[in-house]
Structure 1
Amino acid sequence: MTQALTVIAAPKLYLLTNDDEFVLLYQKLEAALATGFIALLQIRRKQILALPDGESHLYEEARQIVELAKAYNVPVVINDNIKLAAKLGVGVHLGQQDGEVADAKHELQPNQIIGRTCHGKVGLVKEAKNEGASYAAMGAIFTSNTKPNANIISRQQLIDGCQQDIALCVIGGLTAENISELVDLPITYVAVVGDIMDLPVHQVAARCHQWQQAFSKWETPA
């Protein structure tokens, strides 16, 4: 008797902003979004927030980014700021110390995405699910320039997270080359910063297409 083959759906590319000067950042985002391959965009601008009057600077930047993303039908989440997300009518991604999922659900529209950082702890993934988060983010998968001191999680931790019946996002040092190490796991989002955003504008679209090719490996029966 022939055993049925299991096909694991390909993940989606989740792009995070970096701290480039805004005009350059906007050009890179437009190049990436125009490929049609970005499924979710997170606005994370730590250096802008650190400036005097950083909140108003961030709002003005985020407003323009949200309008750009709308033109390409890409949903947006704001990093760690429920009030700003509500003001802009977008979703939010919350670290463990940056607000509660329940508060986000109260402040935001029902259709908005709420993400939760869970590091390598399956208990936090379970909490995120029970609290009604849209996805749980686990990592770091590899070392990265963005967070060089982040703890690397084990493959078993990631497997356990994948079994909690909540959309799972992986983050941390991921590239279009090393993502092949996760090809047999049911991951919903692959979050990327440096592997795309650290490139010059003219290379961004080509790198997004390389990610698309990497994800095509998930379409092969496992």
Structure 2
Amino acid sequence: MRGLYLITNDDPIEQLHSKLDAALATGHIQILQYRRKKTPLTQQPEEIASIKAICDRYAVPFVINDNIELAAQFGLGVHLGQSDGEIQDAKEKLPQGVIIGKTCSSSLEFAEKAVRDGATYVAFGAIYSTLTKPEAGCIGIEILKQARQRFALPICAIGGLSVENSKDVIEAGADLCAVITDVLAQDINHVAARVNAWAAQFNTELK
């Protein structure tokens, strides 16, 4: 589990479908997360079903942001914030073996609990300031270095990440870089190129 972790944005759904198809076709998306804050909850199942079909086509793991019940409805994994439910609850309601990620902000103590509870990965951020979640502030990369020394499971960095600033983040210990804007704000004709640029960053670090 190493590479680019893509999170959906709030583009019109058909436009998002096109961008996701271009991104996933590269073969370089490790996980896709459904996060649509402007879509009413009643409309989300229809969107999830349509995006799941794209993920299934390219065999990309698909997880739902924050909502265990919605993830259970589709037999999918989930990414949980600190106030969005417990890992144990997710493990009881979701199929065995699905991805369960946990936001740990800048806390190694939160991460230790997530590891004990059985998280698939732990996420730290916002690494850099981001317009997607401006209230998150920015914590920098030192926490990634500390987490890398302490934990064996995958570490996900999130917040303000771009191809251009990713080298230090990956070197600090991030296995996964979670992004929205850096890929999905691109014109449809440039989405694949941006994903490939991310893949090159990880490949460079692996050599």
TM-score range, shorter chain: over 0.9
Query: Which residue identity is paired with 2:156?
Result: C
Instruction: Select between 180-189 and 64-73 the one with higher mean Cα deviation.
Output: 180-189
Q: 2:115 aligns with which of 114, 129, 135?
A: 129
Matched, 1:87 2:78: no
Query: Which residue identity is paired with 2:20?
Result: L
Q: For 1:147-186, what aligned pairs fall within 5 Å after superposition? A: 147-162=133-148, 163-186=150-173
Q: TM-score, normalised by structure 1?
A: 0.89
Q: 1:199 aligns with which of 186, 190, 195?
A: 186
After TM superposition, give the deviation of residue 200 of structure 1 in Å. Answer: 1.4
After TM superposition, give the deviation of residue 31 of structure 1 in Å. Answer: 0.6
Q: For 1:29-40, what aligned pairs fall within 5 Å after superposition? A: 29-40=20-31
Matched, 1:74 2:68: no
Aligned to 1:145: 131
Aligned to 1:111: 97
Q: How has the CA–CA distance of structure 1 residues 182 and 67 changed in structure 2, closer, same or farther, with 3 Å as cutoff? A: same
Say which structure, 1 or 2, has more relative contact order (CA 8 Å, 6+ apart): 1
Would you say how many aligned residue pairs link Structure 1 and Structure 2? 206
Q: Secondary structure at the match of 1:85?
A: helix
Q: Secondary structure at the match of 2:138?
A: coil
After TM superposition, give the deviation of residue 208 of structure 1 in Å. Answer: 0.7
Q: Deviations over 1:129-183 (max 9, x none)?
A: 0010111100111111211232211433221222222211000000011001124
Q: Secondary structure at the match of 1:47?
A: coil
How far apart are the structure 1 equivalents of 2:124 and 2:138? 10
**Segments of 4+ in structure 1 off by > 4 A?**
none
How far apart are the structure 1 equivalents of 2:170 and 2:151? 18
After TM superposition, give the deviation of residue 110 of structure 1 in Å. Answer: 1.1
How far apart are the structure 2 equivalents of 1:155 and 1:169? 12
Can you give the 5+ residue segments of structure 2 that lack an aligned partner in the other structure? none
Confirm or deny: 8 A CA contact 2:2 2:30 kept in the other structure.
no
Q: Deviations over 1:14-53 (max 9, x none)?
A: 00000111011111100100111001000000110xxxxx
Identity fraction in percent: 42
How far apart are the structure 2 equivalents of 1:169 and 1:70? 23
Instruction: Select between 174-183 and 62-71 the one with higher mean Cα deviation.
Output: 174-183
Q: Secondary structure at the match of 2:54?
A: helix
Structure whose residues are more often helix by fraction: 2
Q: 1:61 aligns with which of 34, 37, 47?
A: 47
Q: TM-score, normalised by structure 2?
A: 0.95
